[in-house]
């Protein structure tokens, strides 16, 4: 098992193979299952992600009524040709929103790495399917690459909003997605690590402050932002830009920031947006 | 390392909205039921920390009840678990606690029927991964990712050896083992995680050993 990103990259160099391949090999050893079984399980995750995107694009509404329908709006706006950010980026944002709207509506999703941050990795993946036309196997590899970087963040920092704030959830998801985008676009494992570092750096300090404690406001829009940051970070890494602070040190910084973050800003719905006048008012309405 | 499988990160497939507060809660409920050995008749759940603050929005209570009904986190019946619990004759009460727990996502579950009662504390550590950290006042660490047995025994020499001897005879490999006790010479708890699933006759035999008070099995 790799203990950090540096060891993960060293393994890919030692064996001249991809990050996804290292992850699959380790999973085979750890769980005593065949490559086919492991790939098939990841394929099922991929299918659930695709169904969630489709459901969100068709339009859903959460029980509280706070979220739902924004993926539909963004899709229509994109189709109008008026979008400013470019189609791939907007599509990633749109599909990230779609996934998280389904999650908020108690629909079926695949946690990546958590449910609250489940939109970022599939959002970017299904947007890039339009752009890069990957095979199913390449899409499954995308998820193994994300998983490898997510494992390091989970073990060396946290992927729980209650323990580390939103930086641990959407921050980690954005880093995972950036690393996978780089790999899918043909970048090196080192560039993937740069992508993760750049994305996560930009989300350090992000608090978890859900209105009324619901995984809706601001979670859905933070997934949109996580997908956008992932695309930006991947493009930067592919351009050859490097993070001055190495990926493992960024992950360590995320952990230490999470440790010192006030409890009110770690999924307790006591601070931040949850404690705004509108946040408090919505909470009263919903809890009635 | 807490996370070893890629599917701890990409997964689980689950009913929303929260991996820690919904899927994790369902898993804690299901583990509690598994250790209890059957569906309890009455359950009292105490919620702490973030669980106490935000359980309504995350359906943490609903998910814990679903788990106690043996539902997996991706079971479509999960959102309606309280209704199914009522139909199944399982009475559930829920309270929120002020006390600050070691981990922010903590639930204490007291289960009861006419034969037995048991108290379990579970924590949800993120991404749907959980641990059982207390059983009837004994501290322990159990993730439910491999088969395990929990043995309550008298705290004296030879009991641990007698148990491991039987496992050795049946060629069961121990992956993890922990012994703990509350007071010297009183009752102790053995947690044994194994690579192979243990058959009921072996568990019965362990139960017959001198010094063994009770054997519980946890299914993975």
Domains of chain B (ranges plus CATH)?
A: 7-142 (3.30.1330.90), 148-218 (3.30.70.260)
A10-60 pLDDT per residue, tens: 999 999 999 999 999 999 998 889 999 999 999 999 999 999 999 999 999
DSSP string covering A226-285:
HHHHHHHHHHHHHTT---SS-HHHHHHHHHHHHHHS-GGGBSSSSSGGGGSHHHHHHHHH
> Of A152 and B55, which is predicted with more confidence?
A152
B191-220 pLDDT per residue, tens: 999 888 888 899 999 999 999 998 988 765
Average pLDDT over residues A65-88: 96
Whether residue A127 has pLDDT greater than 70: yes
Give A163's contacts in chain B (Cβ within 8 Å): 103-104, 125-126
* Chain A to chain B Cβ contacts (< 8 Å): 176
Average pLDDT over residues A245-261: 98
Average pLDDT over residues A122-137: 98
Average pLDDT over residues A259-275: 94
Number of folded domains in chain A? 1
Question: What span, in angstroms and rounded, lies between the C-alpha atoms of B103 and B86?
Answer: 30
Interface test with B, best of A38, A63, A115, A119 (most B CBs within 10 A): A115
Average pLDDT over residues A76-84: 97
Closest chain B residue by Cα to residue A145: B6
Across the interface, do B57 and A107 touch by the CB < 8 Å criterion? no
Interface test with A, best of B126, B146, B196 (most A CBs within 10 A): B126
Q: How far is CA B111 from the centre of its chain?
A: 11
**DSSP for residue A170:** I
pLDDT at B190: 92
Closest chain B residue by Cα to residue A102: B16
B73-129 pLDDT per residue, tens: 999 899 899 999 999 999 999 999 999 888 889 999 999 999 989 999 999 988 888
Average pLDDT over residues B179-194: 87
For residue A206, give how far its alpha carbon lies from the nearest alpha carbon of chain B (Å).
17
CB A45 within 8 A of CB A144: no
- CB atoms inside a 10 Å sphere around CB A139: 21
pLDDT at B197: 81
Percentage of chain A modeled with pLDDT above 90: 93
CATH of the domain at A38: 1.10.4100
- H/E run at residue A196: helix A189-203
pTM of the model: 0.85
| Selected residues 11-40 of chain B with any CB under 8 Å from a CB in chain A | 11-23
* ipTM (interface pTM): 0.97
Range of the domain at A231: 5-287
């Amino acid at each position: 098992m790799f203990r950090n990103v540096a060891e993960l990259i060293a393994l890919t160099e030692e064996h001249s193979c991809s990050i996804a391949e290292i992850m699959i090999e380790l999973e085979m050893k750890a769980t005593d299952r065949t490559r086919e079984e492991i790939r098939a399980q990841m394929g099922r995750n991929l299918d659930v992600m695709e169904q969630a995107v489709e459901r969100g694009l068709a339009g859903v509404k959460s029980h509280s009524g706070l979220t739902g329908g924004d993926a539909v709006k963004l899709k229509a706006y994109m189709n109008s040709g008026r979008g400013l950010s470019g189609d791939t980026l907007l599509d990633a944002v749109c599909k990230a929103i779609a996934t998280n709207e389904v999650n908020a509506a108690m629909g079926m999703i695949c946690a990546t790495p958590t449910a609250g941050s489940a939109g970022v990795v599939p959002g970017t993946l299904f947007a890039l399917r339009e752009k890069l036309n990957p095979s199913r196997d390449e899409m499954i590899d995308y998820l193994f690459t994300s998983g490898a970087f997510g494992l390091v963040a989970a073990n060396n920092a946290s992927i729980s909003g209650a323990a580390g704030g939103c930086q641990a959830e959407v921050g980690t998801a954005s880093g995972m997605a950036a690393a996978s985008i780089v790999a899918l676009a043909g970048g090196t494992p080192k560039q993937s690590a740069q992508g993760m570092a750049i994305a996560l750096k930009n989300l350090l300090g992000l608090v978890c402050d859900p209105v009324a404690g619901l995984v809706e406001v601001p979670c859905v829009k933070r997934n949109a932002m996580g997908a956008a940051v992932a695309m930006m970070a991947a493009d930067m890494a592919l351009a050859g830009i490097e993070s001055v602070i190495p990926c493992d040190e960024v992950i360590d910084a995320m952990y230490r920031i999470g440790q010192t973050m006030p409890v009110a800003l770690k999924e307790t719905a006591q601070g931040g947006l949850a404690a705004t006048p509108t946040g408090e008012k919505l909470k009263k309405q919903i809890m009635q | 390392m807490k996370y070893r499988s890629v599917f701890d990160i990409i997964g689980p497939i689950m009913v929303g909205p929260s991996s820690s507060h919904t899927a994790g809660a369902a898993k804690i409920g299901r583990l509690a039921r598994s250790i209890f050995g059957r569906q309890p008749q009455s359950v009292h759940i105490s919620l702490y920390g973030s669980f106490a603050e935000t359980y309504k929005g995350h359906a943490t209570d609903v998910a814990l009840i679903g788990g106690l009904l043996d539902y997996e986190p991706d079971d479509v019946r999960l959102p309606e678990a309280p209704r199914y619990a009522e139909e199944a004759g399982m009475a559930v009460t829920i309270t929120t606690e002020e006390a600050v727990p070691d981990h922010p996502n903590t639930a204490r579950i007291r289960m009861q029927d006419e034969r037995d009662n048991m108290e379990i504390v579970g924590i949800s550590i993120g991404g749907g991964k959980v641990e059982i950290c207390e059983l009837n006042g004994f501290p322990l660490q159990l993730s439910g990712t491999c088969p395990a047995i929990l043995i309550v025994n008298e705290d004296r020499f030879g009991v641990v050896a007698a148990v491991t001897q039987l496992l050795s005879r049946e060629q069961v490999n121990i992956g993890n083992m922990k012994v703990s006790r509350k007071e010297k010479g009183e009752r102790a708890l053995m947690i044994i995680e194994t690579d192979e699933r243990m058959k009921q006759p072996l568990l019965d035999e362990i139960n017959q050993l001198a010094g063994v008070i009770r054997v519980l099995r946890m299914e993975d």
